[in-house]
Amino acid sequence: MSVKNLNFFFNPRRIAVIGASEDPASIGFVVFKNLLGKGFKGSVYPVNPKFESVQGVEAYPKITDIQREIDLAIIAICPEDLNATLPVVREECGIKGIKGVILMCFDFKTRIENAPALQEKISNIASKYGIRVLGPDSLGF
């Protein structure tokens, strides 16, 4: 894979933060706030069905609801919710044509019930759509 094929990781124009939140204790809040306030020049879209807006920006219930092309999705969902939501979110990223996904989850194998099976399911979805994955607990697969 050439560096050009990784441009969506290193130079994204539009980023969706899945799990963006109004809760200052959540990783989704921190990631979204940092992208908004730390010099990212592109567009940032919060994705969370629980909110109409996040930190003053219109939120979307699903990533497929965003009308613009998205270069990179950052999934910042609490580990307890990953089993139920992650396969659906990954499938939506594939349908949307997103080529890069960063999964912000630490201690994946110890905190997620049935982690090996979930990781295999994630890998299969990523392969199906040609999605490059960074994380969890690694530099990707």
Q: What pLDDT digit, counting tens, does each position of 80-109 carry? A: 666 667 777 778 988 999 989 898 866 566
**42 pLDDT higher than 90:** yes
Before 136, cis peptide (omega within 30)?
yes
Measure the N-to-C terminal CA separation of the chain; round to a whole number of Å. 13
| Residue 115 or 39, more confident | 39
Looking at residue 10, its pLDDT comes to 87
Contact status, residue 105 vs residue 136, Cβ threshold 8 Å:
yes
**Per-position DSSP letters for 29-95, written without gaps between them:** HHHHHHHHHTT--SEEEEE-TT-SEETTEE-BSSGGG--S--SEEEE---HHHHHHHHHHHHHHHHH
Residue-averaged pLDDT of the chain: 83
Looking at residue 106, its pLDDT comes to 60
Cα separation values, 62 from 18, 67, 85, 133, Å: 8, 11, 11, 19
Looking at residue 141, its pLDDT comes to 45
Question: Cβ contacts of residue 30 below 8 Å, gap of 6+?
Answer: 24
According to the CATH classification, is domain 3-134 in 3.10.250.10? Answer: no
Q: Determine the Cα–Cα distance for residues 75 and 92; give it in Å rounded to an integer.
A: 12
Please give the model's pTM, rounded to 2 decimal places.
Answer: 0.85
Query: In the structure, what pLDDT confidence band is assigned to residue 123 with cuts at 50, 70 and 90?
Result: confident
As given in the structure block, the two tokens for residue 60 are: 């979307």
Q: What are phi and psi of 46, to 5 degrees?
A: -80, 135
